[in-house]
């Protein structure tokens, strides 16, 4: 492990974009939008996230179609009115040195009927852990949602965001179509694995056609769900979407049931990293590792061992928004605190130089 220039802090090129490091701040719901649009508190939250030193920041899940517009405070990316707010959000994140990725999603049946009056899904089969039997989507409605993903990507493009992530995991609509438990259609969108992949492939194709060629496109998958969709199927899907222009697979798990897969019944540090490792090697595509990546040395080891190209954190960055800065210090990198804004940089670098025996609070208990 190179303590002077950790792999974690090597810049990474994805398409035509270069992130300053390989730390990705994963999406977490904030419910800070107002009337489906970006609010000042949304901008404040994401700016603070970028300020901590991550190379890439992912927005919370943004809705791509009116059928998924519930009563919560989610951002509705299918509305053109969102563009000015998203532009302000992108400018705020860019000012802190990070790239901004838009996560686009349709929740499908994965909601309670109190939130979404009419649930949409591949088949009229209720989600085991939420209420309501979904409406089985018609072919026309499937086409509408595919177009909705493309329209949302267009709005992200107009706003100047750096990348798009298609959410195909956690029991949401794309994952439902992939799942033989949620998808029991008998048309061209159901039955065999190839037919169940059709919707996801159409979404990827349509988004890529809209999204600029040089800008990154991510696909989030539940690589294993213990419900008929597994790692082998995820590898095959990765092989299909790579030539379509998907750059990175975000490797998560679970979602069809309200529990993690059996292999992760008691999640431990890095419990989903093997998914990223397998898809990277067998699918020959860049991957992002997620799931209880908590410590700097742990994240560095994942990258040094070639198990993924990026590491992503969510809850740990809620606990410590300056995780990337902290990790750099623990790995012996960035003595001048260049990862953080100038006002922080001056005071932190000065303390480190004048009283080096004093360690930050995250290093130990002190005296």
Using one digit for the tens of pLDDT, what is the confidence trace for 319-347? 999 999 999 999 999 999 999 889 899 99
Does a structural domain hold residue 183? yes
Exposure pattern of 154-177 as b/e (b: 16+ CB <10 Å)?
A: bbbbebebbbbbbbbbbbbbbbbb
Predicted confidence at residue 9, as pLDDT, reads 97
- The pLDDT of 285-306, averaged and rounded, is 96
Write the pLDDT tens digit of every residue in 171-221. Answer: 999 999 999 999 999 999 999 999 999 999 999 999 999 999 999 999 999
Does a structural domain hold residue 352? no
Does a structural domain hold residue 153? yes
| 3-class DSSP state of 243 | coil
Does a structural domain hold residue 111? yes
Residue 121 has phi, psi (to 5 degrees) of -160, 175
Does a structural domain hold residue 256? yes
Predicted confidence at residue 2, as pLDDT, reads 44
Q: What is the number of domains present in the chain? A: 1
- The pLDDT of 243-261, averaged and rounded, is 89
Query: Where are any strands of DSSP class E within 93-203?
Result: 99-105, 120-121, 135-136, 163-168
Q: Which domain holds residue 253?
A: 7-334
- The pLDDT of 342-356, averaged and rounded, is 92
Predicted confidence at residue 367, as pLDDT, reads 57
Does a structural domain hold residue 44? yes
Helical segments of 197-255, H only: 198-210, 231-241
| pLDDT exceeds cutoff 50 at 1 | no
Predicted confidence at residue 3, as pLDDT, reads 45
Does a structural domain hold residue 280? yes
Predicted confidence at residue 265, as pLDDT, reads 55
| pLDDT exceeds cutoff 70 at 260 | no
Scanning the structure block, which residue is given the tokens 């990223």?
A: 276
Q: What is the mean pLDDT of the chain?
A: 93
The neighbouring-strand residues paired with 252 are 222
Predicted confidence at residue 178, as pLDDT, reads 98
Which CATH number fits the domain that encloses residue 60?
A: 3.20.20.70
* pTM of the predicted model as reported, rounded to 2 decimal places: 0.94
Write the pLDDT tens digit of every residue in 109-166. Answer: 987 666 788 899 999 999 887 768 999 999 999 999 999 999 999 999 999 999 999 9
For 364, which DSSP code? -
Predicted confidence at residue 131, as pLDDT, reads 66
Does a structural domain hold residue 350? no
List the structure tokens of 328: 């750099």
């Amino acid at each position: 492990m190179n303590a002077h220039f950790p792999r974690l802090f090597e810049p990474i090129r994805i398409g035509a974009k270069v992130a300053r490091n390989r730390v990705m701040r994963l999406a977490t719901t904030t419910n800070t939008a107002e009337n489906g649009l970006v609010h000042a508190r949304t901008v404040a939250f994401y700016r603070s996230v970028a300020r901590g030193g991550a190379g890439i920041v992912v927005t919370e899940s943004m809705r791509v179609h009116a059928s998924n517009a519930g009563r919560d405070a989610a951002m509705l990316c299918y509305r053109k009115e969102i563009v000015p707010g998203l532009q302000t959000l992108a400018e705020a994140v860019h000012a802190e040195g990070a790239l901004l990725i838009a996560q686009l999603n349709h929740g499908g049946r994965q909601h309670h009927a109190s939130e979404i009056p009419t649930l949409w899904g591949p088949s009229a089969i209720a989600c085991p852990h939420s209420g309501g039997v979904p409406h089985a989507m018609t072919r026309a409605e499937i086409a509408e949602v595919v177009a909705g993903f493309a329209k949302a990507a267009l709005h992200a493009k107009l706003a100047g965001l750096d990348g798009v992530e298609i959410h195909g995991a956690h029991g949401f609509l794309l994952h439902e179509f992939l799942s033989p438990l949620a998808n029991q259609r008998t048309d061209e969108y159901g039955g065999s694995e190839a037919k169940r992949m059709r919707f996801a492939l159409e979404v990827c194709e349509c988004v890529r056609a809209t999204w600029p060629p040089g800008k990154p496109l991510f696909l989030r998958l539940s690589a294993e769900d213990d419900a008929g969709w597994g790692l082998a199927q995820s590898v095959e899907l990765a092989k299909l979407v790579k030539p379509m222009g998907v750059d990175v697979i975000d490797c998560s798990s679970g979602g069809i049931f309200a529990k993690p897969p059996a292999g992760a019944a008691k999640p431990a540090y890095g419990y989903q990293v093997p998914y990223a490792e397998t898809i990277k090697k067998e699918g020959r595509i860049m991957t992002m590792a997620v799931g209880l990546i908590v410590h700097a040395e742990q994240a560095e080891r994942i990258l040094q061992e070639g198990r993924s190209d990026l590491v992503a954190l969510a809850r740990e960055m809620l606990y410590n928004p300056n995780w990337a800065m902290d990790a750099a210090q623990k790995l012996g990198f960035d003595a001048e605190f260049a990862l953080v804004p100038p006002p922080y940089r001056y005071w932190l670098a000065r303390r480190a130089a004048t009283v080096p025996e004093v360690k930050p609070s995250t290093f130990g208990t002190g005296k």
